[in-house]
Every structure is written in structure tokens, then in C-alpha cells.
């Protein structure tokens, strides 16, 4: 770092450069806007970051002396670059400035207009501008600025995101890895976070022209004039206040404790307008979610709260993010709003009920059994009873509703249901994840359950002498009692629990599946567990299966495997078919050598087995989706 001459440089800058201030947009003035920023790249940030700039004015702009960078003040050792001499952007034109043309092209399949680091001589390279800053122009994932300067070093446009707030506050909420932040609509410039939204699918070179520019519709913080929650939610798929700070009052209708695959527990609260304070618009939801992060809430269902926080859309779910959230309890034991009934005929349009207290007013049939103790699926009232089949993405699922316990950490009070059972008393806030609306039940002990008779077991096909049978068998978290990972995400059954599971698996393999010739296994921790299973099934099957297994890179340790009848099958070569992906997966797999910036693609790579069956060659691939 060049420290000693630093003060001389600053003095020169003060003498030569005017203090950076935003240029006023007069008639005919330059109208260049930063319209999309891609900073948290899957893989190597230094190779594939990019910024999109658009000329939303009516005249062509000579870019020769226009600068772009993340250095908000002169001499701060961040980056500031000039466009190449003679560069021009026409009215309506969109340009992309990427870290490297090669990295950008690998992700998006075409060249950027300019690159920062030289990687392809065919793509023009940005020029340094040391009079302002001689640092590197690299965007920080946790928060940074991007700004455009004109020929007089006045700011044409600027944006800050994440932890940075140099130009406006609150800042644009950070995007997830692989997402971008985009100005919507592209010509909306209110100098606030309200101009920006996170985009799951970045679109370099394409402007988002649809949408409404919010030029002053801000939330009121005066307790006597608070917005109703319906106004915060809006009547569309996303809130009109995305990235803005809002204040509202409501009553807590539910709390959800959710543990992710890494064992980290997060909390979400649901708040709804106090009865009588709603906006009266059936197109807007009167409820909203508060993401609390890892902080266990100190308030309870029935508390009236005054909430201030920043609105975000998390994969289509409107909520307030946790970083700036302020929640004050004003009263307790406040009556809850009446839950809204959901029927099959209104299930296709649930957006206006997102976050609200809802109920299934009738006894309903279970269509999907309890999984991991914390959730099941039911047929909505008014649906045709029976089993629901979904063979392709286009098949309708509006007749189904997933029911979640208020905690997936402790599920002892949640009923263990099977297909065909009936249940009543289902009431709770309506959440949204994995592109499905789901109900979060708050009092599972009050559910009324009627168990249906067990259906007869299906009879497997019995192959003829010249035929063979193939089955796939997901043994669902078949783990031993040893703690290998020191992670709460790894199941650790007690010895008696493991013994019961093994008896069930052995019965299913030998009786329900009738000892198929080939069995593809998913979700087993190790080979010794399968060795025990095939020994337990050996007497009923009349043979002991050959186990073909390789350890995978899965973080929890679950693998795929193949069981084969040794009387008919001879195993040849076998391998895990791992490969690399040009984005960050967080997977460590020493069996594959990926190039810099790439990561292994599969946590559970498919197992490919070459074998002969009754003398005929086959290749079998066991996969776990």
C-alpha cells in the first residue's frame, strides 16, 4: 500500500477536483443510470462481476471522460475507471462492464461491452483514473457502492447495497449468491432503495421497463397515521415498498421455528392488522411476516406490536428483514383476527392471504403423510377424495395444502398421520416457500384426528424365469448411532430406534418389494449399515445381496448404493460420476479436480455401475434427486 505520499495526493485532488456532488438533471443533461449490479458471483467474484449502465436520455453520450467505480470519495483506495477514448452510448443503449470478458462469457454466453481486467483483446478495456483513486474496482459481497462520474467528476448516478449507505439509507438489501440487484423500472431514479429489487435470474444487457416508479409513496412513522399492513403488502405479487422502511401496528398471530439443512435455527413471526384497522381491500393481505434471524422472539402470539423495518421479497415471500427490525410490544392478550376459510375453489389465488391467519373449515383428508415429524399434506375442502398424482410440472396441485408444525425442531405434539387419515381444526398463518403456500399450525395439540384403516400392501410383480426386477428404495436417513460430523443436521438415532428402523427396512426389502434383482438405494450413511440390512433380509430372500457403495461428499454423509442378487449379477467397474460447475456450490470433494472458480456439482454424485446380468451387459446409474 502506497502510504507515505498519500497526503500529497489528497491535497492535489482537493486543488484539481471539485467535491463530488450529484449533477442536477436539467433539460438535455446526461441521463446515464446504473441499471443492474451483479456482485455476489457463484464462483470467483474477481472474474465475473459486472455492472449494467443505460442511457435513458434522448441524446448520445461521449463516454471518453465518464468514470465508473466503487470509490465514493477521492483517495479512498477503492476503484475508479474511465471508459475507453472514443466510447459512445446511444439513446436507449445498454452496456455491460464486466471484470473479465472470459468470466462473463462463461456465465452468460456472450461478450460484455467492456472489461476491467484484460482477458480478451477483442473486448475494450476500461482505463484507470488514478486522479480519483488507484485501488481495485471490486464489489464487496457484504456491501459496497457503485457510482458514475461525468467529465467534471460530478456524480451522475450512484447506488449502495448491503452494509454500505454512502448515498441513501436504508440501503438496497443484499442479493443472494447468483442474484443481481436491478433498477425497476430502468428509468426510475428517486435516489433511494425503492428503485431496486433483487433478481433471481440476472439479465445483463436487458432493461426492466415494466413497473411503477414510486416517487414519494413512503411509509408514515407517525403513530397516529400508520399504514395498514395491506398497504405495505400491496395488491400485486410483491410489495410496493420493497427496500423501503415502513412502520405499522399489528397483532402477532403466529411464530415459526425453522431449522435448515445445516442445523441453524431461524425464527419468523406473523403479524396481522388489529381487527378494525384493516384497509378493507380484499386484493391486499392484512398480514405480513417478520424474519427474526436466529433471535428467539421475546413476544408471544396475541401481543400487539409496533413494528419498523425494511421490506424485502424472499423468493416471492413478502417479509421484513431482520437487520433493521424494531419491534415494541404495546399490549398482550389482544384478540386475534378471525381466520379466513380456504376452500379448493379459492386455493389458486392465495396471494391476497399471504401472511394472514387462515383456516380449513371442514374435516380434511391427509394426502401426504407426516414427514420427519413436522409436516403433512391435506386435500382442501371441496376436493375430490382420493390419492393425488403429479407426474409432471403442469399437473395442478391447487387441491393440496401443506401443513407445518410451528417448530420443526421439536415436533412431539404434532400428529403422525398417514394417507387417508382425516384431521380437523387446522388454523394458522399462511406462509410461502418453495413456490407453495403452506399453513403454520400454532396449536397442534388441538387437532382432531381420525385414523383410517391401513390399506393392503401393494403386491410387487413377480418376474418370470427369463425376467428380472428393478426397484429404487429411499431408506430415508438410514444413519448409525455414531456422531461423525459433530453437526445437529446429522441424525443420531438411539440403538433401539436404529434396531426398529432396520427391522422395517428388512421387511420392506424382502416382503413388500419381494427381493428385486437390482435395488437402487438412496440416503444411506455407510456400507456397514447396508451389510447389516442385507444380512437381515437374507433368510427371506434366499440370498445375501452384494452391496456396491462409495462414500460421497455429502455434508450429512448420505450416499447412494446398489444392491444386486449375486446368483444372477456380476459387478464390474463402478464409480461416482462427479463433475464441476461454473458457480459456487459449497461442496468439497477431493475426488474431482475443478478449475479455479468452479466447484463440484453434486453433493451426492450418481453411482454408475457396469455389470452383467444372466450374462448380458448392463450399465446402471443410481441417482438421488
pLDDT digits (tens, 9 = 90+) for 503-537: 999 999 999 999 999 999 999 999 999 999 999 99
304-314 and 265-272: which strand pairing? Answer: unpaired
Q: State residue 337's pLDDT score.
A: 96
Is there a contact between 322 and 296 (Cβ–Cβ < 8 Å)? Answer: no
Is there a contact between 543 and 565 (Cβ–Cβ < 8 Å)? Answer: yes
**Cα 553 to Cα 167: distance, rounded to the nearest angstrom:** 44
Mean pLDDT for 570-574 is 97
User: Is the pLDDT assigned to residue 4 strictly greater than 80?
Assistant: no
CATH 2.40.50.140 describes domain 340-389+397-450: yes
Per-residue pLDDT of 172-209, as tens digits, reads 988 888 899 999 999 999 999 989 999 988 999 999 98
User: Is the pLDDT assigned to residue 3 strictly greater than 50?
Assistant: no
Per DSSP, the residues of 298-353 read SS-TT-EEEEEEEEEEETTEEEE-STT-EEEEEESSPPPPPPEE--GGGTT--GGG
Band of pLDDT at residue 555, cut at 50, 70 and 90: confident
Q: State residue 7's pLDDT score.
A: 31
Band of pLDDT at residue 619, cut at 50, 70 and 90: very high
| Mean pLDDT taken over the chain | 88
The C-alpha angle with vertex 161 and arms to 49 and 96, in degrees rounded to 5, equals: 30
Is there a contact between 292 and 269 (Cβ–Cβ < 8 Å)? Answer: yes
Burial of 388 (0-12, 13-18, 19+ CB in 10 A): middle
User: Is the pLDDT assigned to residue 11 strictly greater than 50?
Assistant: no
User: Is the pLDDT assigned to residue 17 strictly greater than 70?
Assistant: no
User: Is the pLDDT assigned to residue 237 strictly greater than 60?
Assistant: yes
Is there a contact between 91 and 28 (Cβ–Cβ < 8 Å)? Answer: no
Band of pLDDT at residue 213, cut at 50, 70 and 90: confident
Task: Tell the residue number behind the cell numbers 422395517, with chain if given.
Answer: 504
Q: State residue 389's pLDDT score.
A: 64
Mean pLDDT for 160-173 is 91
Dig out the grid coordinates for 282 from the structure: 380484499
Mean pLDDT for 128-148 is 94
Residue 193 DSSP code: G
User: Is the pLDDT assigned to residue 28 strictly greater than 50?
Assistant: no
CB atoms under 10 Å from CB of 610, counted, come to 14
Give the CATH number of domain 226-331; options: 2.40.50.140, 3.30.559.10, 2.30.30.240, 3.10.310.40: 2.40.50.140
Same fold, 6-199 and 340-389+397-450: no
Domain ranges of the chain: 6-199, 226-331, 340-389+397-450, 470-622
Q: State residue 176's pLDDT score.
A: 85
Band of pLDDT at residue 106, cut at 50, 70 and 90: confident
- This prediction has a pTM of 0.68
Mean pLDDT for 416-428 is 94
Q: State residue 532's pLDDT score.
A: 98
Per-residue pLDDT of 438-460, as tens digits, reads 999 999 999 999 999 988 888 88
CATH 2.60.40.1260 describes domain 6-199: yes
Is there a contact between 319 and 256 (Cβ–Cβ < 8 Å)? Answer: no
**538 sits in which H/E element:** helix 527-541
Residue 346 DSSP code: G
Q: What percent of the chain has pLDDT over 90?
A: 67
| 3-state secondary structure string across 586-617 | CCCCCCCCCCCCCEECCCCCCEEEEEEECCEE
Least confident window among 165-169, 200-204, 367-371, 479-483 = 367-371
Which residue, among 20, 305, 316, 295, has the nearest Cα to 157 in the 3D structure? Answer: 20
Amino acid at each position: 500500500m502506497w502510504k507515505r505520499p498519500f497526503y500529497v495526493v489528497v491535497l492535489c485532488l482537493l486543488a484539481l477536483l471539485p467535491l463530488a456532488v450529484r449533477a442536477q438533471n436539467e433539460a438535455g443533461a446526461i441521463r446515464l443510470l446504473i441499471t443492474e449490479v451483479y456482485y455476489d458471483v457463484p464462483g470467483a467474484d474477481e472474474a465475473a462481476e459486472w455492472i449494467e449502465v443505460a442511457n435513458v436520455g434522448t441524446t448520445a453520450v461521449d463516454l471518453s471522460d465518464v468514470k465508473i467505480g466503487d470509490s465514493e470519495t477521492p483517495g479512498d483506495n477503492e476503484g475508479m475507471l474511465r471508459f475507453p477514448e472514443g466510447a459512445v452510448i446511444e439513446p436507449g443503449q445498454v452496456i455491460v462492464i464486466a471484470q473479465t470478458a472470459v468470466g462473463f462469457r462463461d456465465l452468460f454466453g456472450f461478450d460484455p461491452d467492456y472489461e476491467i481486467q484484460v482477458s480478451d483483446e477483442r473486448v475494450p478495456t476500461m482505463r484507470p483514473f488514478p486522479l480519483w483513486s488507484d485501488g481495485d474496482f471490486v464489489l464487496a459481497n457484504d456491501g459496497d457502492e457503485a457510482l458514475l462520474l461525468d467529465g467534471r467528476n460530478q456524480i451522475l448516478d450512484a447506488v449502495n447495497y448491503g452494509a454500505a449507505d454512502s448515498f441513501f439509507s436504508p440501503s438496497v438489501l443484499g442479493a443472494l449468491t447468483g442474484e443481481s440487484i436491478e433498477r425497476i423500472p430502468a428509468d426510475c431514479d428517486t435516489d433511494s432503495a425503492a428503485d431496486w429489487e433483487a433478481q433471481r435470474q440476472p439479465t445483463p444487457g436487458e432493461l426492466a421497463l415494466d413497473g411503477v416508479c414510486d416517487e414519494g409513496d413512503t411509509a408514515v412513522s407517525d403513530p397516529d397515521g400508520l399504514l395498514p399492513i395491506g398497504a405495505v403488502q400491496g395488491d400485486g405479487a410483491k410489495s410496493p415498498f420493497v427496500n423501503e422502511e415502513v412502520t405499522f401496528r399489528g397483532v402477532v398471530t403466529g411464530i415459526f421455528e425453522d431449522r435448515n439443512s445445516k442445523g441453524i435455527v431461524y425464527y419468523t413471526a406473523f403479524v396481522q392488522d388489529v381487527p378494525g384497522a384493516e384497509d378493507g381491500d380484499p386484493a391486499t393481505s392484512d398480514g405480513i411476516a417478520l424474519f427474526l434471524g436466529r433471535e428467539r422472539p421475546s413476544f408471544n402470539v396475541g401481543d400487539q406490536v409496533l413494528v419498523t423495518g425494511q421490506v424485502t421479497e424472499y423468493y416471492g415471500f413478502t417479509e421484513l428483514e431482520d437487520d433493521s427490525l424494531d419491534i415494541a410490544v404495546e399490549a398482550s392478550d389482544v384478540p386475534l383476527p378471525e381466520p379466513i376459510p380456504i376452500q379448493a375453489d379459492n386455493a389458486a389465488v392465495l396471494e391476497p392471504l399471504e401472511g394472514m391467519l387462515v383456516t380449513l373449515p371442514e374435516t380434511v383428508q391427509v394426502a401426504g403423510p407426516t414427514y420427519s415429524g413436522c409436516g403433512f399434506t391435506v386435500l382442501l375442502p371441496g376436493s375430490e377424495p382420493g390419492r393425488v398424482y403429479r407426474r409432471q410440472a403442469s399437473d395442478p396441485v391447487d387441491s393440496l395444502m401443506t401443513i407445518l408444525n410451528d417448530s420443526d425442531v421439536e415436533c412431539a405434539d404434532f400428529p403422525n398421520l398417514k394417507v387417508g387419515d382425516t384431521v380437523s381444526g387446522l388454523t394458522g398463518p399462511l406462509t410461502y416457500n418453495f413456490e407453495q403456500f403452506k399453513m403454520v399450525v400454532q396449536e397442534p395439540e388441538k387437532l382432531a384426528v381420525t385414523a383410517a384403516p391401513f390399506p393392503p400392501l401393494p403386491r410387487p410383480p413377480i418376474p418370470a424365469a427369463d425376467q428380472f426386477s428393478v426397484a429404487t428404495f429411499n431408506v430415508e436417513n438410514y444413519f448409525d448411532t455414531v456422531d461423525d460430523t459433530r453437526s445437529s443436521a446429522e441424525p443420531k438415532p438411539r440403538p433401539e430406534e436404529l434396531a426398529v428402523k432396520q427391522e422395517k427396512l428388512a421387511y420392506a426389502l424382502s416382503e413388500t418389494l419381494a427381493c428385486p434383482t437390482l435395488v437402487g438405494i438412496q440416503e444411506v450413511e455407510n456400507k456397514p449399515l447396508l451389510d447389516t440390512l442385507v444380512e437381515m433380509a437374507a433368510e427371506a430372500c434366499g440370498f445375501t445381496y452384494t452391496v456396491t457403495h462409495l462414500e460421497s461428499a455429502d455434508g450429512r454423509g448420505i450416499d447412494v448404493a446398489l444392491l444386486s442378487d449375486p446368483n444372477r449379477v456380476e459387478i464390474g467397474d463402478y464409480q461416482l460420476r462427479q463433475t464441476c460447475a461454473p458457480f459456487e456450490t459449497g461442496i468439497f470433494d477431493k475426488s474431482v479436480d475443478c478449475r479455479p472458480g468452479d466447484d463440484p456439482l453434486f453433493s451426492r454424485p450418481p453411482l454408475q455401475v457396469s455389470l452383467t446380468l444372466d450374462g448380458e451387459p448392463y450399465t446402471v446409474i443410481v441417482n438421488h434427486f
